Amino acid sequence: MPGDALGQDPAELRRRIDTTKAHPARVYDVLLGGKDNYPVDRNAAAAALAANPRGYLDVRHNRDFLRRAVTALASEGGIRQFLDIGTGLPTQENVHQIAQRITPDARVVYVDNDPVVLAHARALLTSGPEGRTDYIDADFKEPKQILEQAVETIDFEQPVALVLVAILHFVEDAEAYPIVRGLVDALPSGSRLVLSHLTEDLNAEDIRAVQRTFTARGFTFVLRSKAEVERFFTENGLVLDEPGVVPAHHWHPDGNTPAPETAEPAFLATLDAVDKVRYLDINDVTDADINVYVATGVKP
């Protein structure tokens, strides 16, 4: 249960943390300029940046797509409930902060199974007084468990936005498509799917180099084509919203991409590639930089 997850013994959480292996959520945190990670995660991020020095743009533009999508669904789509699976570590502009700023009574359930994420769950659970925010400690590969617990917070008689951002490329086809089908089947009419996914369609050489660094560390890392990403929508009866499946920076850009932190050039010169990420502007993105497809769709 969400409450049970938060009540876990801190010592038990520490025992669950494996600091000898990189974890996708923590590597993602590194590339967002976060600090809730370990040397093994920094090493994985550094290897990815060595393979593709502008690879941080995939991560940062993926995150900015999430901001725009949640904003659009909360403000224009009438969505007041969000189920965010593969939440990752708390960062700026989490789903509940965006949604509840627009719709104060919005309900958000976060799902992740990384104990480091769980240890920071209280940073996520800062709902406004009119809304509700909860956290489920569960694996994406256990959709039944997720749905059974989410019903404590989310009313599945009303539309829900299912958020699957930067998670499906860590799951093989044999599991990915059935899991998404099971989750979408539980959603009522008017619900939405928010999805992002790495691909080799766009800049194959760069992303394959990154893929090699991650698979060498034991990650499942599946790069899917545009047609394969569209399958998550079409085979589940979802209607793609305009502009369909597109590179992340082309999905309804709004000119509000966050500016980076500022720092003196002399200071920046002392930093390695990983530590520089938080100070890099992502507004200079080009089509040659992005390897992420994104899309949203509606359940009729």
Residue 20: pLDDT over 90? no
Question: Which of the four pLDDT bands, split at 50, 70 and 90, describes residue 10?
Answer: low
CB 208 within 8 A of CB 200: yes
User: 63 or 259: which carries more pLDDT confidence?
Assistant: 63
Question: Which of the four pLDDT bands, split at 50, 70 and 90, describes residue 9?
Answer: low
Mean pLDDT of 109-130: 81
What confidence tens digit (pLDDT) does each residue in 194-216 have? Answer: 999 999 999 999 999 999 999 99
What is the pLDDT, as a whole number, of residue 2? 39
What is the pLDDT, as a whole number, of residue 264? 92
What is the pLDDT, as a whole number, of residue 1? 36
Mean pLDDT of 68-92: 93
Q: How far is CA 182 from CA 160, 167, 187, 211, in A?
A: 14, 16, 9, 28
Provide, rounded to the nearest whole percent, the portion of the chain with pLDDT above 90: 76
Average pLDDT of the chain is 92
Residue 7: pLDDT over 60? no
**Closest alpha carbon to 276 in 25, 90, 33, 50:** 33
What is the pLDDT, as a whole number, of residue 5? 47
CB 121 within 8 A of CB 6: yes
Residue 130 CB burial class (10 angstroms; 0-12, 13-18, ≥19): exposed
Mean pLDDT of 228-237: 98
What confidence tens digit (pLDDT) does each residue in 46-79 have? Answer: 999 999 999 999 999 999 999 999 999 999 999 9
What is the pLDDT, as a whole number, of residue 101? 95
Least confident segment among 47-51, 169-173, 235-239, 261-265 = 261-265
What is the pLDDT, as a whole number, of residue 88? 84
What is the pLDDT, as a whole number, of residue 121? 74
Question: Which of the four pLDDT bands, split at 50, 70 and 90, describes residue 3?
Answer: very low
Question: Which of the four pLDDT bands, split at 50, 70 and 90, describes residue 8?
Answer: low
What is the pLDDT, as a whole number, of residue 23? 87
Residue 193: pLDDT over 80? yes
What confidence tens digit (pLDDT) does each residue in 134-158 have? Answer: 999 999 999 999 999 999 999 999 9
Quick one: DSSP state of residue 169? Answer: G
Mean pLDDT of 212-231: 95
Task: Write out 65-129 in H/E/C secondary structure.
Answer: HHHHHHHHHHHCCCCCEEEEECCCCCCCCCHHHHHHHHCCCCEEEEEECCHHHHHCHHHHCCCCC
Question: Which of the four pLDDT bands, split at 50, 70 and 90, describes residue 4?
Answer: very low
Quick one: DSSP state of residue 200? Answer: S
